[in-house]
Chains A and B, each alone.
Chain A
Amino acid sequence: MSQDKRFSDEFLNAFVDNQIAAEEKSQAFIEIGQDEALNRQVCELRKLHDLVQLAYREPPAPPARATSDPTSRHARLRFGVAASVLLTLGIVLGSQIRMPAPSVTAVPAAATQKVANIAPPAKSEAKADIANHVATLQSVAAIPAAATAAAAPVVARNKIPDNTTSKVLIHLARDDADQLSQALDEIEGLLKHYRETRHGARVEVVVNGKGLELVRSDTSVFAGRIQRLQREYDNLTFAACQNTIDRLAREQKIIVRLLPGVITIDSGMAEIMRRQNQGWTYLQV
């Protein structure tokens, strides 16, 4: 088979989609790896594949049907219970706030005297009490908002005031121990450089796919090193892709346990896009 035919567009697509025999694929791996143009084509095809998955990860919800779907019944029930609890809390707390008011306004003199004889609360204490109630109420009122913000961790992190000058996202998607070791060397070197030059920086390591093994407590061969890096550099974050964690649970029945300090993000790909839109430098290892 000639070189041209061997690496036709159809062949490269089949290579990316893992549709060719293992022996042929390993040979193609070597040849593609040596050719920069082919390598770029393969990267572009993989990127397209990831983009398609990202685009339909959360399609718009279908319009509601007028059927007795048990799941929607349960959802409605849960919503009703939650709403009732919130309403009750609101009434109880609201009534407690209103209670001190009569003692300082239109209360009959005798009643005022009686209350005063029992235990007149200090004015400052009453104020503090109300302030506490108001704070409680505000937190209660914030509950629904927090509950509806499904992507709260991501949104919250994105809103952190950012006075740093350099923001670097490092993407790890492979489980090759040598490459991961090299990547940790690069990360440590980068952080050390920023510290020595007193240059403000944030470094975020996003792991997905096979790269997740780096931060799994049961598989990581670099657990100690990662924890040391996290202790030494507070501007370093390790973020694991929730999609990958869910996929492992679904397909391989693996319950992933992450190393301490590793946060989860909704999707590695989405995080990369978000960070790039925010002006982060993207490095793939």
Chain B
Amino acid sequence: MDFLDFFHMRSREAQHALEQARVRLYRVAYAWCHNAALADDLVQETLAKALRKSAQLRDPKARDAWLFTILANCYRDHFRKTREMDDIDEIEISHETTPESESSRTEIVGLVRATIARLPQAQRQVVTLVDLEGFSYVEVSQILEVPIGTVMSRLCRARNAMKAMLLPAMQQNPDMHRVIRRIK
């Protein structure tokens, strides 16, 4: 299906597909910035650009990766405009003072979100694209325009950091992982 059809088709399937794409883009955008309004703006901008550039999409099967590439570019542009002097790959845009962590520190969802928010920007993007969207390492390298080795090392560092931050926090709250046993 041509991408233009994706927008122009009136069928229920096309509307459903568009809504699904929006939901997925929003989830990932929110995981990157932890700001609902900004995430929504980024998704709007992504879909508007996708519509304008729909002729560029040669292979419909690559539509998902293509959409997320546009999202990554919109996200990068946003921070270029607002923080020109910082290295986009290293900044931490969120800290432990996020609303989630303040209000639901003891809850697992808030804890994991706060942990991801504390990861450096580049690591956060890789880990969310792999874990939330299930993209392959090759696809992530194309979306973020970095070598595949960089994807692997960022993912590795992100997960090590998450392990280091999450496990002590979970140990402080024993209710979070009570008796865990494995039977085989």
Residues of A within 8 A of B (CB): 9-10, 13-14, 17, 19, 44-45, 48-49, 51-56, 59-63, 65, 71, 186, 273, 276-277, 279-285
Q: Which residues of A contact B175 (CB under 8 A)?
A: 276-277, 279
Residues of B within 8 A of A (CB): 19, 26-28, 30-31, 36-37, 39-40, 43, 108-109, 112-113, 116, 127-128, 130-132, 136-137, 152-153, 155-156, 159-160, 162-163, 166, 175-184
Q: Which residues of A contact B136 (CB under 8 A)?
A: 19
B182 contacts A13, CB within 8 Å? no
Smallest CB–CB gap between A180 and chain B, Å? 13
Q: Which residue of B lies closest to A8 (CB)?
A: B156
Q: Known contacts A10-B152, A56-B113; decide if A62 and B163 are in contact (CB<8 Å).
A: no
A282 contacts B108, CB within 8 Å? no
Smallest CB–CB gap between B179 and chain A, Å? 5
| Pairs A-B, 4 closest by C-beta atoms | A62-B40, A55-B112, A52-B131, A59-B30
Query: CB < 8 Å: which of B155, B178, B180 contacts A13?
Result: B155
Q: Known contacts A10-B152, A48-B163, A53-B132; decide if A186 and B40 are in contact (CB<8 Å).
A: no
B40 contacts A63, CB within 8 Å? yes
Supply 17 A–B pairs (Cβ within 8 Å), ascending by A. Answer: A14-B137, A14-B152, A51-B166, A52-B116, A55-B113, A56-B30, A56-B128, A59-B26, A60-B30, A60-B36, A62-B39, A62-B43, A63-B40, A279-B178, A283-B181, A283-B183, A284-B180
B181 contacts A282, CB within 8 Å? yes
Smallest CB–CB gap between A67 and chain B, Å? 9
A51 contacts B182, CB within 8 Å? no
B36 contacts A63, CB within 8 Å? yes
B152 contacts A48, CB within 8 Å? no
Q: Which residues of A contact B166 (CB under 8 A)?
A: 48, 51
B113 contacts A276, CB within 8 Å? no
Q: Which residue of A lies closest to B132 (CB)?
A: A56
